[in-house]
Amino acid sequence: MSRSETSLLPQLHEPRNPGMPLDMDRVMRATANRSAIERRAATLPGRRSVKKDYQAAWLARAISCIDLTTLSGDDTPGRVARLCAKARQPVRADILEALGLEGLTTGAVCVYHDMIAPAVEALEGTGIPVAAVSTGFPAGLSPFHLRVAEITESVKAGAREIDIVISRRHVLTGDWQALYDEMRAFREACGEAHVKAILATGELGTLQNVARASMVCMMAGADFIKTSTGKESVNATLPVSLVMMRAIREYYEETGYRVGYKPAGGISKAKDAVTYLALVKEELGDRWLRPDLYRFGASSLLGDIERQLEHHVTGAYSASWRHATS
C-alpha cells in the first residue's frame, strides 16, 4: 500500500446487500472455537509490525476509515462543528503535504440525532457523510415504533448512515426470527441510508452468539455489522473481530454481497489500528480496506495517529493535548 494510494481514495460503488430470507439451518451451523480464535488473535499484535513509510501509509488509511465520533450528553453544535472541522482536516496541513496526502479526510462523522443538522451544515460540500446513532442507543430498549420513527427522523435530518442497536435479548434467548424481523424493519426504515447493525458483543455472552447474530443481521440486510456502542464494559476485541470478519467472509462467499465491518470502542492507539487493519487484510482481503467497507468507531484514535505521523515527518513527538478532536 503506497502513500499515494491512500490519498483521495476513489468512490467505489459496491452492490448493496439486499438481505435474504432467514435460513435457520445456516444460522445454527454458525459456531466459534473459542480457544482457537483466542490463540489466533493473540499472535497478531506481536508479529504485525510496520515501520517508516509503510507505517505512515497504513496510518493514513486508518484515518480514511474513521467514523469520528462524539456521543456525549454535553454535546453542543459548537463541539460538533469543531469535530467536523477535524474530519475535514484530520492532520496538520504541512504534515499532509510532506506525506503527499493532501485532501485526506475521515470516513464519516458520527453523532446523536439532535446534532445531525449542525454536522450536515459543517460538512456541506465535503462528501463526508454524517452517521447517526439510533433506535434508543445505546440500550435499544425504547418502544419499537419509536425506534423505527427515530431512524426515519434521522434520515430526514440528513444522516446518510444509521448506526442501530439490536435487542440483545433476542440473541440471549435464541429468538433469531425476532432479531431478523427487527433488523429487517430497521433496514427498511433507513431507505437509501446505509445501516450499521451494532451487536453490543460484550453483552452477548458467547462468541457463538456473536457469530449467529452477525449472520442473522446480514441476512436481514445490514450494510455493516459493528461490534459495540462504545458504552459497554467490553467493546471491540480481536477475538470478536475475527468471528465477525469470518461471518462476513462466509456470507460473501455464499451470496456475492460484501458487508462492511466496524469495530468500535477501546481502539485509541495507532498501533492497535494497524493491527486491526492487518486482520482485515488477512481475513477479508484488500477490498475491505476502504471506507465503504471498513470503519473504526473512535473519538481519540485520530489524535494518536496524528502524533505518529508528525513524528514520522519531523522526528519529534508533540504533546497529545495538541491533537484534541473537539
Please confirm, yes or no, whether 271 is among the known catalytic residues. Answer: no
List 67, 86, 196, 226, catalytic entry? 226
d(CA 55, CA 50): 5
The single-letter DSSP state of residue 193 is: S
Contact by Cβ (8 Å): 138, 231: yes
Cell 448493496 belongs to which residue?
Answer: 16
272 catalytic? Reply is no
Active-site position among 163, 223, 272, 304: 163
Strand partners, 225: 197, 261
CA proximity to 66, closest of 87, 52, 82, 35: 87
37 — phi, psi (to 5°)?
-65, -45
Are 84 and 119 in contact by the 8 Å Cβ rule? The answer is: yes
Strand partners, 260: 224
From 67, 196, 262, 272, the catalytic residue: 262
Q: Taking a C-beta distance cutoff of 8 angstroms, is the pair 251, 211 a contact? A: no
* Catalytic residue numbers, as ranges: 163, 226, 262
